[in-house]
Structure 1
Amino acid sequence: MPAPASPDRPRRGRRPAFTREEITAAAVALADAEGLDAVTMRAVAARVGAGVMSLYSYAPDKETLLELMVDQVGGELLPPAPLGGDWRADLKALARDQRALMLRHPWLPAALTTHRTALGPNTLAMLEHALTALRPLPLDGAAKLEVFSLLTGFVASHVSHELTRAAAADAPERAAAEARRLAAVAADGHHPELARALAAPGRPLTPEATFTRFLDRLVDGLDTPPGAEAGTPQHA
């Protein structure tokens, strides 16, 4: 497991004019406004009025800066809501908080899924919160860590899809065209299962409703009987 992010102090040199939190906040603001690709050491330095070389006292490279950004915005989830004792409800509440955080910071899903990130103090606090919520679940510790990773990956993927659709000006037209194409395919007689699926009653397609349905299926399916995760056959 990666080491936690280092504390707020430069690696060397004279006393800095900025704190690590201020540098990180500037990088977060830049990513929020212009996207993750806009975050360069030069651009962040210009935003805070510092020399580029001075930033390397706080972060030796962009990956380290990104780790600091991820952990800083993760602090928005702290302190987490008190656990209610129902691990399913508690885990779903965490996922909804993660989704809201990623929608506030649209660069975060990509940062979590395409870049290495160390576990800073805020991320560790949320991991501890999730593991505490999962205490009643009959899984071993490694599996519970995987559950946290699975949940976060699901939320990041879903939010990425939401943001992509929201940014597409022709999203409604494309969705309608795809629905017509599927209906035509289902009517050709060669895809009976697809035809049955499309004949089922429709469901609300708002981002919130879709997220809730997917989240329910994911979390409610985690209650695996002891031994099942190791491949033990289960009988009805």
Structure 2
Amino acid sequence: MSSDGRSGGGAVDPEQLWLRPTEPRRGRRPTFSREAITAAAVALADAEGLDVVTMRRVAAEVGAGVMSLYSYAPDKETLLELMVDHVSGELTVTDPPSGDWRTDLKTVAHLQRTHMLRHPWLPAALTTRRVPGPNTLAFLEHVLAVLRPTGLDGAAKLEVFAQLTAFVAGHVAHEIAQAAVSRSPDRSAAEARYLAAVAADGHHPQLAEALAAPGRPVTPDATFTRFLGRLIDGLDTG
């Protein structure tokens, strides 16, 4: 492993990142910390998106030289790990599981959705992140306790958590994209006209039948709840 906390293969070393606190450097005490650097990066991503989060930009936000940041986060990949775990501290659950694991798991998913909507960069970040930090582990511990009544083995419980998180992240990413489209009435109207024309052309009878069916509530909350119910109610724990 290299001195910057990365393994030989280039991936973030979880032991170096989470189990070995950053040692204070000799000389003048720095006016910033790993926590401050991470918080600044999160604020940037929340306001302007993940693409603007660079070591140089974060250094400017905390009033530091870019080279001085590397002892805290040697690269953007490590910084991303810190950012995700930092915001995961917001996923606090004070009530113990009720024993009704399906209801409790739905509560977990709604909490995740609210969390990801608050930090719209998270769905994309979670697709590449691999190293759970202390805040993420605390939330995972709660989810595993929720799943205890299922009788699933440990590996299956971890798979359920991964499946649920992937579903929420994918749904939120789609939800954010659809919200952007809905702000363009002309585009929304054009899409509706297009689907109506396709349904009427006689070549897509299944689609025509589906579009003619009674509508369901299409608010973001109602849509998420409906999709989530199909996922969790259909989980096989046998």
Same structural fold, with TM-score higher than 0.5 when normalized by the shorter chain: yes
User: By how many angstroms is 1:169 displaced?
Assistant: 6.0
Distance 1:46 1:130, change over 3 A: same
User: By how many angstroms is 1:187 displaced?
Assistant: 2.8
What do residues 163-191 of structure 1 show as CA deviations (whole Å, max 9, x unaligned)? Answer: 12222365444334333333332333333
User: By how many angstroms is 1:78 displaced?
Assistant: 1.5
The aligned amino acid for 1:157 is: G
Gaps of 5+ in 2: 1-12
Contact 2:181 2:188 in 1 (8 A): no
What is the DSSP-based 3-state SS (H/G/I as helix, E as strand, rest coil) of the residue aligned with 1:76? Answer: coil
1:37 equivalent in structure 2: 51
The aligned amino acid for 1:186 is: A
1:23 equivalent in structure 2: 37
Identity of aligned residues (%): 70
Higher mean displacement: 167-176 or 125-134: 167-176
Distance in 2 between residues matched to 1:206 and 1:174, nearest whole Å: 19
2:218 equivalent in structure 1: 205
Distance in 1 between residues matched to 2:237 and 2:31, nearest whole Å: 56
1:102 equivalent to 2:116? Answer yes
TM-score by length of 2: 0.85
Instruction: Note the 1:155-166 alignment, pairs <5 A.
Output: 155-166=168-179
Distance 1:38 1:86, change over 3 A: same
Please give the root-mean-square deviation of Cα atoms over the aligned residues, in Å. 2.1
Aligned counterpart in structure 2 of residue 49 of structure 1, from 54, 60, 63 = 63
1:119 equivalent to 2:132? Answer yes
Distance 1:178 1:167, change over 3 A: closer
Distance in 1 between residues matched to 2:32 and 2:183, nearest whole Å: 44
What do residues 10-52 of structure 1 show as CA deviations (whole Å, max 9, x unaligned)? Answer: 3573343322111111111111111101111111111011111
Instruction: Note the 1:167-206 alignment, pairs <5 A.
Output: 167-168=180-181, 170-206=183-219
Number of residue-to-residue matches in the alignment: 223
TM-score by length of 1: 0.86
Distance in 2 between residues matched to 1:37 and 1:118, nearest whole Å: 21
2:231 equivalent in structure 1: 218
Aligned counterpart in structure 1 of residue 146 of structure 2, from 126, 133, 149 = 133
1:72 equivalent to 2:83? Answer no
Higher mean displacement: 136-145 or 212-221: 136-145
Distance 1:225 1:71, change over 3 A: closer
